[in-house]
Amino acid sequence: MTEERTEEQGRLGGWAAGRRRVWSRLRFTSLRLRLVVVFALVALTAAVSASGIAYWLNREAVLTRAQDAVLRDFWQEMHNRAGALPEHPSQDVLQHTADQMAGSGQRFGVLLVGQDTDGRTVHGASGGPDGFTLRDVPASLRAAVDRRQPLSETNKAPYHLYWQRIDLDGTPYLVAGSKVIGGGPTGYMLKSLEPEAKDLNSLAWSLGVATALALIGAALLAQAAATTVLRPVHRLGVAARRLGEGRLDTRLRVSGTDELADLARTFNNAAAALEKRVADMAARDEASRRFVADMSHELRTPLTAITAVTEVLEEELDSEGGGIDPMIEPAVRLVVSETRRLNDLVENLMEVTRFDAGTARLVLDDVDIADQITACIDARAWLDAVELDAERGIHARLDPRRLDVILANLIGNALKHGGSPVRVSVRESEEEVVIQVRDHGPGIPEDVLPHVFDRFYKASASRPRSEGSGLGLSIALNNAHIHGGDITAANHSEGGAVFTLRLPRDASPLAAAQAEDKGGGSGRRDGDGTARQAGREGDGDGGSDGGVQEEVR
């Protein structure tokens, strides 16, 4: 059942991924879609323009040819037949003549209008009284036909032939009219242009099909062009992503001499330069870390002897016999203090080196948070200065030593730079444990807040030398990060600074990942390969007398 559900989820996931790829290609911001749209618009514009011009030219040619033939035949019929009629013909004569004129080769309707001997207007139309009538002739055309033109050298006739295209009941017609010169009836002609309109509709349909085919062809051509252009761009994007992921040996295959080939060459040159620069920086960084680790290791041997001597001197200072000359007692105490500070600095430098080299590892155990905080405070004699607000029974699987280092630095920093009382509170959720360390001092200046976890950062340039090494809060933050947690610094609304530590309830996944990265090794060792031993009052990481503290106020 589980395998079927997994398979179904896989199919759904594949379908969703495919749909996302399709939508990514179809979204308007896609260069592929924009190329296709531009190509299609250009092709559509060109095809529509060409089709429109072709249609207009063919339409004018077809209509002009048809109307010229009809008008020529009508003009000849008017001269040959209507011109032979008497000046005052009867209606029967007009009817007979109209039928004869309509029987010409062009097959058009004819209407003759004249006056009989009694001065009455008579009409003769082909097809009888229900055929062609004066109502079918536009008034403007009738007025033009009846208008007598003045005679001149260029105008030899008082009356001319006029024509006009009209539409009757959705059918196009050509209507024309002329008056017999020298007296006689007025003739009108009506010719249907429906065959020519059908031919033009067929032409328009053909041009529309050609336009659609041109549009489809342009879209296919645009798709092919887009693929040709976008394939190198896609490869460049993939290579850029790989380069951003740290695969600095990524290179593009260069082919051709066009702009895309130049872009690929430029990318390869930039990637090679970046790889060389990163390699040089990594080598310098590795050399720097090795120098710090070697220096710290080499300093430990003379420091061991110096520390032993200072312990003897300190015992002499504290003895009742007073074995130290009072004149040199201040100098001896200074030597003892600076030796401790130098020893703490060396230990902190070695710890920082392990973090930078990625060799720091977690040694997990089930920890009662309240008991751990109490042990940290008690070991450093801070019980009278620290208020603890934590319930017993809040357990987490963490590295006890590193948690002690974090707490020693946060609480020690609050005691040194803040104001009493220092309050430590603990709250929990299903996923994490939150520990807050708040003091009641002046708080942290706003310009200092972004730098409180920086190494060797001192808030006051006038106090460059202090008991702290400048590494405590940085080490605390690294110890939180190795657990998958974090530390933030802020100012409380009621005064004082607040450091908030967030740690997961179980750091086992991170510890397993670290063990896998290093072949399953989980032991913690110094840069010199020797096992770490916790020192007095706060362990080597936390330093003595309150642990490593960062000067940030």
Residue 263, pLDDT above cutoff 90: no
Instruction: Give residue 539's pLDDT.
Output: 37
Instruction: Give residue 524's pLDDT.
Output: 39
DSSP letter at 506 equals B
Of residues 517 and 237, the one with the higher pLDDT is 237
Q: What mean pLDDT is predicted for residues 514-520?
A: 61
- Write out pLDDT tens, residues 379-400: 888 888 898 888 888 899 998 8
Record the tokens describing residue 373, joined without a space. Answer: 């905080």
Instruction: Give residue 504's pLDDT.
Output: 92
Is the Cβ–Cβ distance between 394 and 428 less than 8 Å?
Answer: yes
Amino acid letter, residue 435: I
Is the Cβ–Cβ distance between 505 and 430 less than 8 Å?
Answer: yes
Is the Cβ–Cβ distance between 437 and 410 less than 8 Å?
Answer: yes
Instruction: Give residue 426's pLDDT.
Output: 92
Record the tokens describing residue 249, joined without a space. Answer: 């040996």
Residue 434, pLDDT above cutoff 90: yes
Instruction: Give residue 10's pLDDT.
Output: 54
Residue 435, pLDDT above cutoff 90: yes
Which residues pair with residue 422 across a beta bridge?
386
Q: What mean pLDDT is predicted for residues 283-287?
A: 80
Record the tokens describing residue 374, joined without a space. Answer: 């109490």
Q: What mean pLDDT is predicted for residues 347-363?
A: 71
DSSP β-ladder status, 162-168 and 186-192: unpaired
The pLDDT-based confidence of 472 (bands split at 50, 70, 90) is confident
Q: What mean pLDDT is predicted for residues 367-389?
A: 89
Amino acid letter, residue 540: G
Instruction: Give residue 254's pLDDT.
Output: 83
Instruction: Give residue 498's pLDDT.
Output: 92
Written in H, E and C, the secondary structure of 203-257 is: HHHHHHHHHHHHHHHHHHHHHHHHHHHHHHHHHHHHHHHHHHCCCCCCCCCCCCC
The pLDDT-based confidence of 464 (bands split at 50, 70, 90) is very low
- Comparing CA positions, the residue from 180, 155, 170, 196 lying closest to residue 68 is 196
Q: Which residue has the tokens 């070697």?
A: 294
Is the Cβ–Cβ distance between 186 and 83 less than 8 Å?
Answer: no
Instruction: Give residue 436's pLDDT.
Output: 92
Distance between CA atoms of residues 308 and 364, nearest Å? 33
Residue 301, pLDDT above cutoff 70: yes
Residue 528, pLDDT above cutoff 60: no
Q: What mean pLDDT is predicted for residues 330-338?
A: 78
The pLDDT-based confidence of 553 (bands split at 50, 70, 90) is very low
The pLDDT-based confidence of 173 (bands split at 50, 70, 90) is confident
Could you give the angle at the alpha carbon of 71 between the alpha carbons of 69 and 74, nearest 5°? 110
Distance between CA atoms of residues 210 and 292, nearest Å? 79
Of residues 545 and 281, the one with the higher pLDDT is 281
Q: 325 exposed, middle or buried (CB, 10 Å; 0-12, 13-18, 19+)?
A: exposed
Phi and psi at residue 164, to the nearest 5°? -160, 145
Q: What mean pLDDT is predicted for residues 180-201?
A: 81
Mean pLDDT of the chain: 77
Residue 437, pLDDT above cutoff 90: yes
Distance between CA atoms of residues 381 and 537, nearest Å? 9
DSSP letter at 366 equals E
Amino acid letter, residue 38: V
Distance between CA atoms of residues 382 and 3, nearest Å? 58
Instruction: Give residue 460's pLDDT.
Output: 53
Residue positions counted in the chain: 553
The pLDDT-based confidence of 425 (bands split at 50, 70, 90) is very high
Q: What mean pLDDT is predicted for residues 110-136?
A: 78
Instruction: Give residue 146's pLDDT.
Output: 83
CA dihedral defined by 543, 546, 549, 553, rounded to 10 degrees?
A: -170
Instruction: Give residue 536's pLDDT.
Output: 30
Is the Cβ–Cβ distance between 361 and 479 less than 8 Å?
Answer: no
Provide the 10 A C-beta neighbour count for residue 217: 14
Say what percent of the chain tops pLDDT 90: 7
Is the Cβ–Cβ distance between 176 and 101 less than 8 Å?
Answer: no
- Write out pLDDT tens, residues 63-119: 778 888 888 888 888 888 777 787 778 888 888 888 888 877 667 888 888 887 777
Amino acid letter, residue 9: Q
Record the tokens describing residue 55, joined without a space. Answer: 């249609």
Of residues 272 and 519, the one with the higher pLDDT is 272
The pLDDT-based confidence of 526 (bands split at 50, 70, 90) is very low
